[in-house]
Structures are given as C-alpha cells and as structure tokens.
Structure 1
Amino acid sequence: MAKIRIKQIKSSIKRPKNQKLVLESLGLKKINHEIEHENTPVIRGMINKVKHLIEISEEN
C-alpha cells in the first residue's frame, strides 16, 4: 500500500478537543513534526478532520 507523509504546520492551541485528539492519534506532537502512515480510509478520515493544521505529501 502507498505511504502518506503528514507534517503539522499549525499549532493545536485553542483548537477543539476532538482536533487535538486526532493530532495525537496521528502521532503529531509539535509544529514541523513529520510522520509516515499507510494510506488507509481510517487515516484519510483523520486527515480530513485536521486538514487545516497539516500538510500532506503522498509517496509510492
């Protein structure tokens, strides 16, 4: 399966609790932190919740 690279570009301060929990469950801890996940529907749903706080790049 394809990999997806996620980078946090905005802070989670003053965000609703559910958005903070999604960032935490993705494994993002602070601004400019990058992680790599499999491109699954579950991860895509999480990305959709916090798309304004992250930057996405797809890899093969």
Structure 2
Amino acid sequence: MTTQQTVKVQLVRSPIGTKEDHRATVRGLGLRKLNSISELKDTPEVRGMINKIAYLVKVI
C-alpha cells in the first residue's frame, strides 16, 4: 500500500487586486474564501502553483 503525501494550503491574503493568472491559480488550488484550507497531493505541479502565489498562501 502506497500512501500519497499531501500538503495543506491556507489562503491568508485576499487575491483582490492581483494578476488574473494568480487569481486563477488560487481557484485552481481549490481556495475560495479567506482562511480556507485545501489539502492537495504533493506533486511538482502543485508545488509550482504554491510558489507562484506564495505571498497569498501559507503551507500548513
């Protein structure tokens, strides 16, 4: 049995006023409201999305 590593991401700053593609990245990570948390598979693609909007999110 293989266990997939996960990463929890919390939206800590509002995406209002940010670039359109950054807002799309926030939505792509499954984050909606402020302080919402999303648990995702820890893949290079997800890590890249987190790095792109690192100033808006916190990794738990």
The alignment's TM-score, normalised by the length of structure 2, stands at 0.91
Using CA pairs under 8 Å that are at least 6 residues apart, name the structure with larger relative contact order, 1 or 2.
1
For residue 55 of structure 2, the aligned residue among 48, 52, 57 is 52
What is the RMSD of the two structures over their aligned residues, measured on CA atoms?
A: 0.6
Q: Which has the higher strand share?
A: 1
Identity %: 30
**Structure with max Cα Rg:** 2
- Alignment deviations for residues 2-43 of structure 1 (CA, whole Å, 9 cap, x no partner): 110000000010000010000011010011100100100000
Length, aligned pairs only? 57
- Give 5+ residue unaligned stretches, structure 2: none
Give how far 1:47 is off: 0.2
AA at the equivalent of 2:43: T
